Amino acid sequence: MILEIFPNPNPDRDYHIHMEIPEFTCLCPKTSQPDFATLYLDYIPNETCIELKSLKLYIVSYRSKGAFHEAVTNLILDDLIAATQPRFMRLTAKFYVRGGIFTNVVAEHRMDGWEPRPLVDLSRFEPQSNIR
């Protein structure tokens, strides 16, 4: 499955793209039973961004594949990195309960030399109501 990309419309700016993919399915390699997960993709693009339709088709391609949670999370991240070469990317896979155990797998990539800018906290500057 080919992951399509498009040029980053603002390559000079660090900005955060967040995607939630609530219908991820693969097969347990031991039992062949379906495993369900919600994937959370967070990335800061470099020169390219992920095209959403191709991402959807790529994700759906796992429905008939057997994979351990740890392996499939890292494989998906590796494929996304190869396609986009992001400044930063994190994939969080939250698998639903199986045998009384929830599994969360978090895998990250950081481009060599890239450092995030400090977080700006504006919560202390929230407007105060003048109504008494």
Span 7-18, mean pLDDT?
96
pLDDT tens, residue by residue, 60-108: 999 999 999 999 999 999 999 999 999 999 999 999 998 888 999 999 9
- Domains of the chain, earliest start first: 14-113 (3.30.1130.10)
Judge contact between 40 and 16, C-beta under 8 A: no
Q: What is the 3-state secondary structure (H, E, C) of 114-132?
A: CCCCCCCCCHHHCCCCCCC
User: Residue 126 pLDDT > 80, yes or no?
Assistant: no
Q: Which residues are catalytic?
A: 28, 35
Model confidence, pTM: 0.88
pLDDT tens, residue by residue, 22-51: 999 999 999 999 999 999 999 999 999 999
Helix (H) or strand (E) holding 42: strand 34-44
